[in-house]
Structure 1
């Protein structure tokens, strides 16, 4: 780790060479250069939270990302330290749970696009609801990764973006397909249409029946921690502070649709 600049890289395997002293010196210098600038460029991890960005950078390296990872809290910090690192090849912009001010996020994405121009930007977020994903893509993101996925998926998404592709989570594709295949809501109005992802709708139905997190996880083949993430996102969308308030607001959503709340 380069503690001054927030750069991280995998350690190189030491090589023993039986070569003349002059050639050995040349190879040693080349090895130092390769160690400092592995690959064609670096991955810039942008996150205002120091612990989050440092842990994320180390996780990416430990899982096999063959590039230097330069973790910073802001574009200004990158400008101060950029001469110590190879050119930026991709940006992982971790916004966490920041959804309160979409205008601020849009301005930050605009600045990133202006500063780095052709460099692909991949957004990492705690939310995976369809409107949020589409908004980030409209602002220039070349990929969107929900924090519910693992590091391996994150690396694949970054590789796809660097290769010219665009990564979106499966939940987003399912939500879009659902809207396209059933735009009228089937036989009757669907109060959750467009508000929740298909997976979140399943969790909502379970919550309306008063099921515990462990039961929901078992029935939907999910980890209990993933169920908790879905519930937090559902609470944010409903502006609810607890499960009781969630159930109350869900019942309000279903009033007048012919769908009765279970006893």
Structure 2
């Protein structure tokens, strides 16, 4: 990966599926080490878009005439509520209509709700894996919103919501229970397959069956409905 000074951008390595005309991923993070490590990780996982990194929004703004708009922006928000919300609002406005996914150390429910209310298309705490990060990028680009299962459960608790179907009423096989617990922890199919020594295609079949038994329409809803499972991190 080619490195430049902190206030400049660089292009990370990318895989053979690169979208030459589909926009790029802009990674804005004032923390040099974390920024470079994440860019390298995304590149090594063959994400199909260029990755350009910037220390600050102003650095991206100085380059936008030559590089155009990104498909999605990954923006690190500081752990100070007022400062974070102000910066996020500026980023969302500056890069519109590109999607913005906020990365933050702040896992407070109120902060997550604030990020989404400001127009962010997703939220990524430091606890998520690189695979989940890539899923969030893809979902944001497609027009969806990404909130980790743990944050969704916390929001549900704050609002006084409960699972629609008690876990005790659902009949899982031993294998399905193991996969359901992994989903509850926010793990991707690749990680689950590796841990259980199964093929990803097999995991996908089990996930579909789990969704059917729970009456869920997506993985996030599965995780929410499995709120009674204790997640051991």
**TM-score under structure 1 normalisation?**
0.56
Shift in Å, 1:107? 1.6
**Which stretches of structure 1, 4 residues or more, deviate above 6 A after TM superposition?**
none
In the alignment, which of 45, 68, 87 is matched to residue 69 of structure 2?
A: 87
Q: State the Cα distance separating 1:149 from its structure 2 match.
A: 0.7
Cα deviations by residue, 1:27-61 (Å, 9 ceiling, x for unpaired): xxxxxxx98x7351110000011111111111111
Task: Answer whether contact 1:127 1:147 (CA < 8 A) is retained.
Answer: no
Q: Is 1:111 paired with 2:121?
A: no
Q: Shift of the alpha carbon at 1:109? A: 1.4
Shift of 1:159: 0.5
The 3-state SS of whatever aligns with 1:106 is helix
User: Relative to structure 1, is the Cα distance of residues 40 and 103 closer, same or farther in structure 2, using a 3 angstrom cutoff?
Assistant: same
CA separation of 1:135 and 1:221: change in aligned 2, threshold 3 A: closer
1:77 aligns with 2:59: yes
Distance in 2, matches of 1:12 and 1:139, equals 32
- Mapped partners of 2:23, 2:71: distance in 1: 5
Q: Tell me the matched-pair count.
A: 164
Structure 1, residues 105-139: CA drift from partner, whole Å, max 9, x if none?
12211211221121111011123221111011111
SS of structure 1 residue aligned to 2:160: helix
> Aligned match of 2:129 in 137, 150, 154?
150
**Deviates further, 125-134 or 136-145:** 125-134
Larger Rg: 1
Q: Alignment partner of 1:7: what SS? A: coil
1:131-179: per-residue Cα shift (whole Å, max 9, x none)? 1110111111110011101000000001000000000010122123333
Contact 1:39 1:66 (C-alpha < 8 Å) held by counterparts: no
1:42 paired residue among 17, 21, 24: 24
Question: What are the ranges of 5 or more consecutive residues in structure 2 without an aligned counterpart?
Answer: 163-184, 186-229
Alignment of 1:157-168 (within 5 A): 157-168=136-147
Q: Is the 8 A contact 1:6 1:70 kept in 2?
A: yes
In the TM superposition, what is the alpha-carbon distance from 1:12 to its structure 2 partner? 7.0
SS in 2 for 1:155: helix
**Is 2:79 aligned against 1:99?**
yes
Q: Which residue of 1 aligns with 2:179?
A: none
Among residues 110, 117, 121, which one is paired with 1:131 in the alignment? Answer: 110
Matching of residues 1-263 of structure 1 within 5 Å: 1-4=1-4, 5-10=8-13, 38-85=20-67, 87-95=69-77, 98-100=78-80, 102-178=81-157, 179-181=159-161, 222-223=232-233
Structure 2 CA distance for aligned equivalents of residues 7 and 143 of structure 1: 24
| Structure 1 CA distance for aligned equivalents of residues 35 and 156 of structure 2 | 34
| Partner SS, residue 46 of structure 2 | coil
The change in CA–CA distance for 1:2 and 1:135 in structure 2 (over 3 A counts) is same
Cα-Cα RMSD: 2.7
